[in-house]
Amino acid sequence: MSPILITFYFLSAITLASAFLTIYSKNPIHSAIYLVICFFTIAGHYLLFNSQFLAIVHIIVYSGAIMVLFLFTIMLMNLNKEDEVHKPRITRLGAITICILMSVVLVTIFINSNPIVGEELPPTEDYQSIKKLGTLLLNEYMVPFEFASILLLVAMIGVVLLSKKEKTEK
């Protein structure tokens, strides 16, 4: 077996295990940490696809910004054990059954699928280059890029205003 295939299997095993532990863990902070591990292993998959820029952006955006947002949300919610709603065993059993059935269906579809075999066309442009991607973003997609930044700024201001507690006079 080639080292790339071994690396792929290793990253896949860690990705699946950390994704399972993210859902299975009862402590929300532990779930967030497992999710960060999952994000980093997915970035490793991007590196295996020779997409370095996408891997770095994935780490910065998801493992950095989104996880900080998740942790702030968890801390703002102030989750306690006594506030947690206990689900009956039948609900848990139903969720496990549906998960197993969906996994069997997906594996069956994957095994029975036929790959499309044909002539691979060479790419017309190389979007792996950061210089080319930056030129494309700041020339052709300047307006949507600016709209996205304004939308994120407004969302950040909204979150700060919503989480701000008003002082009550006593």
Written in H, E and C, the secondary structure of the chain is CCHHHHHHHHHHHHHHHHHHHHHHCCCHHHHHHHHHHHHHHHHHHHHHCCCHHHHHHHHHHHHHHHHHHHHHHHHHHCCCCCCCCCCCHHHHHHHHHHHHHHHHHHHHHHHHCCCCCCCCCCCCCCCCCHHHHHHHHHHCCHHHHHHHHHHHHHHHHHHHHHHCCCCCCC
* Residue range 28-51: mean pLDDT, rounded: 89
* Average pLDDT of the segment spanning 16-45: 88
CATH code of residue 41: 1.20.120.1200
Does one domain contain both 2 and 75?
yes
Choice among 47-51, 78-82, 116-120 with the minimum mean pLDDT: 78-82
Q: State yes or no: pLDDT of 90 exceeds 70.
A: yes
Q: Are residues 75 and 137 in the same domain?
A: no
Report residue 61's pLDDT band, with 50, 70 and 90 as the boundaries.
confident
- Per-residue pLDDT band at 23 (split at 50, 70, 90): confident
Q: What is the mean pLDDT of residues 57-75?
A: 80
pTM of the model: 0.58
Mean pLDDT of 150-166: 79
76, 136: one domain: no
Look at residue 10 and tell me if it is in a domain. yes
Domain containing 3: what range?
1-80
Last residue in a domain, options 46, 80, 114: 80
Residues 72 and 133 both lie in one domain: no
The answer on 71 and 136 residing in a single domain is no
Instruction: Give the pLDDT confidence score for residue 14 in this predicted structure.
Output: 95
Q: How far is residue 75's CA from residue 95's CA, in Å, rounded to a whole number?
A: 27
Greater confidence (61 vs 41) lies with: 41
pLDDT, averaged across the chain: 81
Give me the pLDDT at residue 156, please.
Answer: 82
